[in-house]
Each structure stands twice: as structure tokens, then as C-alpha cells.
Amino acid sequence: MATITTMDPMQPEPFQVREVSKETPDTFTLRLAPEDSIKESVFQPGQFSMLWVVGVGELPISISGDPFLHDRLVYTIRSVGQATHSLVNQKLGDSVGVRGPFGVGWPVEAARGRDVIVVAGGIGLAPLRPVIYSVLQNRKDYGRLVILYGGRSPRDLLYRKELAKWAHSPETQVLVTVDYGGLSWRGHVGVVTTLFKYSRLQPGRSVAMVCGPEIMMRFVIRELEGQGLSYDDIYLSMERNMKCAIGFCGHCQYGPHFICKDGPVFPYGQVRPLLEKYEL
């Protein structure tokens, strides 16, 4: 494996906040651009950055933007604690330190010629959005695109306008469900696994990419297996706390894997023996 020897991966680059948009009551999307404007920001779908707010802290956040736009890095962040709260409250022109991109991403290349099934739960749609952009950008290189998305309630759904738009793409099926519906919600109510029965999957020619809370991913994988997908055609994005993001601090170890450098995306076959181990 080639050793990376370029600029110090422990030093953040200053990026500026160019846009902040509210997705849900507690989730915001930030668009960042490097202060050094000639720098290109390139990433693979599924990779993440370490975002640093001076005086507050640093966190791993998945990149959720369009991988074909190199003048920016986009992140969808849910405010759940002090650091994320600070990030989502950044104002236009504020500075955020960015390290990365890090990690192994989704098999966008390997999925060429096949149907792509994207199964997302909650904020899990954010790291999968770059996959959707990639497939739509090179539409003829892929088969059918099936997007199954589950959220807690209608107001917690991300990217609703885009979901509606994607549903109108050729050979694309978008199904959305919520755990708790309100009276004005006329969509599905129930967990995301209940969407499988309405989807048209061809297991032999599909690659599935799954992201969401661990419990949700385990149930979804069971469904995918039931549909006939093999372990090597199912990919998931794992999560653990990270500090260095370069495989040295040891915190993100999951069995023998360093989630920061061997993941966060893993083929199911690789993590299958680990997923159901309590306190691994």
C-alpha cells in the first residue's frame, strides 16, 4: 500500500463558510470553499473530512456534496452536541479548518453497469448523496437507481426537493418513509425496511449501499440478503469516534479495521462477523 507523503495530514486548511442552509430543525448544510481559492477540492463519495472550529474542537463529517464540483466542500451536519452545534452556527465568512479527505469511499466505479440501490436512514442520506450525484451525472453508465430513504418524521427528512427531482430521473425509483407520520403526511409510514416490498430489485445485477444507524443497517442488510444480494454486493458505512483520522491514534478501531483508513465504507462480507458482536 502506497504511503502518503504529501502535506501534513494533521494540519487543517482554512476554509470559508460560503453558504448555510437549514435542512431540518436540527440539521444544516454548510458549503465551504478554500481560502486559498486556487486549491481544488477533490473527494470520493463516502469520504469524510475533519472539520475544526478554533477553540471548540474537531469532528469527522462526511462530505455530502457533488463530487464533480471542485471549488467547494459541502457538509450536512446534525447538531447533537457542543462541537456540531458550533459548526452549524457558523456564519458566512467564518473560518473552518478542514483536514482530509480521508477514508475509503463507496464503490461508485465498481458499480458501473449495474443497478444501484441506495438505502439511507436519517442523516445517513448525506454521505450517500454524492453517490446519487455520480450515478445521475453518468447515467448511461449505470442500470436502475433505487433510493430507499427513511427518516424519523416528515420534518426530519433531508433534501426533499432533490428527492422529488431524482424521482423523475429515468430508470430511477425513489421511495421515502417515516417512523412517525403526521396527518398531513401522505407518504409511507413505517421503518425503511418496509419499503423493499414496493421496490423492484434485480439482485443479481445490483450493488447496494447502505448508511444509517447501526441497528437500521443490520435490519436493512437482512432484507437485502432476503432479496438475494450477496455479501460482496452490499456496502455499508461504519462510524466510530475519530481523532487523528489517519490510522495512528487507534480510537476508531473496529475489530482489526481502522474505520478512518480501512473504511468508513466496507463491503458487508468484511464486517459481517463484527456487526452483531456486543461491545466490540
Partner 1 sequence: MESLEHIIAGHPFFAGLDGGFTNLMVSCASNVRFEAGTYILKEGDAANTFFLIRHGKVALEIFAPHHTPIIVSTISVGEILGWSWLLEPFQWKFNARAVDDVRAIALDGKCLRNKCEENHDLGYEVLKRFARIIEQRLDATRLQLLDVYAVRR
Partner 2 sequence: MAHRPQHILGAAQLGKLIELVARKGYQVVGPTLRDGAIVYSDVQSIDDLPKGWSDEQKPGHYRLKRRDDEAFFGYTVGPQSWKKYSYPAEVRLWSAERKDNSFRILNNEEKLEHPRAFLGARACELAAIAVQDRVLLEDRYRDPIYERNRRGAFIIAVQCTQAAETCFCASMGTGPQVSGDFDLVLTELLDSKGHRFLVAAGSERGAEVLSELEVIPATGEDRQDADARVEAAARQQVRSIDTNGIKELLYENFEHPRWDNVASRCLTCANCTMVCPTCFCTSIEDVSDLSGDHAERWRRWDSCFTQNFSYIHGGSVRTSTKARYRQWMTHKLASWIDQFGTSGCVGCGRCITWCPVGIDITEEVRAMRGGGKNGIP
Binding site for partner 1 (CB under 8 A): 26, 78, 80, 121-123, 151-152, 156, 177, 179-183, 185-191, 193-194, 197-198, 212-213, 215-216, 219
Nearer to partner 1, 104 or 157 (CB): 157
Distance CA 35, CA 275 (A): 41
Q: Based on the number of CB atoms within 10 Å of its own CB, is 98 exposed (0-12), middle (13-18) or buried (19 or more)?
A: buried
CB of 26 to partner 1, least distance (A): 7
- Asked if 250 is part of the footprint of partner 2 (rule: CB under 8 A), the reply reads yes
Distance CA 54, CA 71 (A): 23
Look up cell 486559498; give the residue: 36
215 binds, among partner 2, partner 1, none (CB under 5 to 8 A by kind): partner 1
Residue 157 near residue 185, CB atoms below 8 Å: no
Helix (H, G, I), strand (E, B) or coil at 258: strand
Q: Say if residue 127 is preceded by a cis peptide, omega within 30 of 0.
A: no
Residue 38 burial (CB count, 10 A): 5
Nearer to partner 1, 29 or 193 (CB): 193
CB of 84 to partner 1, least distance (A): 10
270 binds, among partner 2, partner 1, none (CB under 5 to 8 A by kind): none
Which residues of this protein are in contact with partner 2, per CB under 8 A? Answer: 1-5, 8-12, 14, 16, 35, 52, 54-55, 57-58, 80-81, 93-95, 97, 214, 239-241, 243-244, 246-253, 255-256, 258, 261, 273, 277, 279-280
